[in-house]
Amino acid sequence: MTNPSRSMYLNSIPRPASAAVIGASGGIGSAIVKLLSGGNFDVVHAFSRSGNSLVLPNVRSAKLDLEDEASIAAAAATIGNGAPLRVIFVATGLLHDDMLEPEKTFRSLNGEKLARSFRINAVGPALIAKHMLPMLPRSGRSVFAALSARVGSIEDNRSGGWYGYRASKAALNQLIRTLAIELQRQKPDAICVALHPGTVKTALSAPFQASVAPGNLFDAAFAAERLLAVTDALSASETGRLYAWDAQSIPF
């Protein structure tokens, strides 16, 4: 894959086209929506739990609860029969919240907390794929991309800890690989990938930003641009992998 110098905002996608962004109210998700809406997409469907997103002429906002399959199915139904859906970008993830924090030791493992990590980081994106991948055209370039993380790489794990987040993102990576194999049989021009955005200035990374080396903490707008540039440079033969923001392939 060629290392792209700038984002083309998926200009390689055939037109007319629409896009769906899940997690559209988050830092990276909202930046993705903004970039895609400024391109040549007829409609950008922006999904989030709140249903709120950027107010732009070609952005359509709707609610989607990643932990509720009925909500996912209903959100997919709102896409309708307009411009063909060519891009699905899952910009969701959970590392910590008021009840969840990364485990430093196996002594901190909790079944319900682990299950919640998997529901958000792996099961949710898989159900998005279930309800939205059938909407991609059978021919012509299309993209399904989901935010993963380098810490989800089994081979790259040298420091341990963060059990739930690591394991759920590793599960997501395996799901992406498996989805890509099936998708290639049905829609050979489609690309299905996991993406590592680096450490981005969002709520997800907020408690850990102080320990990030200078130059390694990115604005959401920069991360979004790089991720779109990476997907734009991929060929169908490079599907089913995990790529970093700088276009480097990360082992699963």
pLDDT digits (tens, 9 = 90+) for 106-132: 999 999 999 999 999 999 999 999 999
Helices (H), 8-123: 27-37, 69-77, 111-118
Q: Which residues pair with 62 in a beta bridge?
A: 47
Per-position DSSP letters for 164-179, written without gaps between them? HHHHHHHHHHHHHHHH
The pLDDT of residue 82: 84
Least confident of 107-111, 152-156, 198-202: 198-202
Which pair of structure tokens corresponds to residue 158? 């040298």
Spatial separation of the C-alpha atoms in residues 115 and 122, rounded to whole Å? 10
Percent of the chain's residues with pLDDT above 70: 90
Considering only CA atoms, which of 81, 120, 128 is closest in space to residue 99? 120
158: pLDDT strictly greater than 60: yes
The pLDDT of residue 199: 84
58: pLDDT strictly greater than 50: yes
The pLDDT of residue 3: 42
Which pair of structure tokens corresponds to residue 42? 């007829």
DSSP label at 206? G
Question: Considering the entire predicted model, what is its pTM?
Answer: 0.91
Element (H, E) at 191: strand 190-196
Considering only CA atoms, which of 69, 62, 27 is closest in space to residue 43? 62
The pLDDT of residue 80: 84
Q: Which CATH class is domain 18-250?
A: alpha beta
Report the sign of the C-alpha dihedral through residues 146, 148, 153, 154, in that order.
negative
Confirm if 32 and 25 have CB atoms less than 8 A apart.
no
The pLDDT of residue 209: 54
CA trace torsion 171, 173, 178, 180 (10° rounding): 150
Spatial separation of the C-alpha atoms in residues 129 and 132, rounded to whole Å? 5
Q: What average pLDDT does the structure give for the chain? A: 90
